[in-house]
Amino acid sequence: MSETTEPRWKWPLQRTCPLEVPPGLAEIREQEPITKVGLWDGSTAWLATRYHDIRSLLGNPALSSDTSREGFPQSSATAVAQRGGQKSFVRTDPPVHDGPAGRSGPRPVAARAGQRHHATARPAAGRQ
């Protein structure tokens, strides 16, 4: 039989100022960069606090950003109530996220203009 312990931290962390990072976040980042946190409803979730860890996790297809999936940790009762509502493509997983709604459309005009400029600048650079 395994022992279960309460997570040391409750999410969201309490803020002392709405414009500053919560005081406990620096400690978590330093001592436990990936740690379990307790949520409002008694469930738990994983919190990653370092850039390289987050990048690695976001690239893992076994993890989901789809808030409507069963078991997705919700930050509040309000988030649970809105779970079935309309959601942004950011909160979807592939293949929906990678489909037309997840793309910004045709390549930006500035990029095409830059490529035309680059193509005409090459021959001119050779004439010097």
The predicted pLDDT at position 59 comes to 87
| Cα–Cα distance measured from residue 98 to residue 81, given in angstroms and rounded to the nearest whole number | 26
Residue 87 is predicted with a pLDDT of 64
pLDDT score for 1: 44
pTM: 0.62
pLDDT tens per residue across span 23-43: 899 899 999 999 999 999 999
Q: Is 47 helix (H, G, I), strand (E, B) or coil?
A: strand
Residue 108 has pLDDT above 80, yes or no: no
Nearest to 44 by CA among 72, 2, 63: 72
Q: Which two tokens stand for residue 45?
A: 């979730």
| CA distances from residue 13 to 4, 69, 101 in whole angstroms, order as listed | 22, 24, 33
Per-residue model confidence as pLDDT tens digits over 53-97: 999 998 898 888 888 788 888 888 888 787 766 566 666 777 766
Q: What pLDDT sits at residue 34?
A: 95
Q: What is the mean pLDDT of the segment spanning 9-23? A: 91
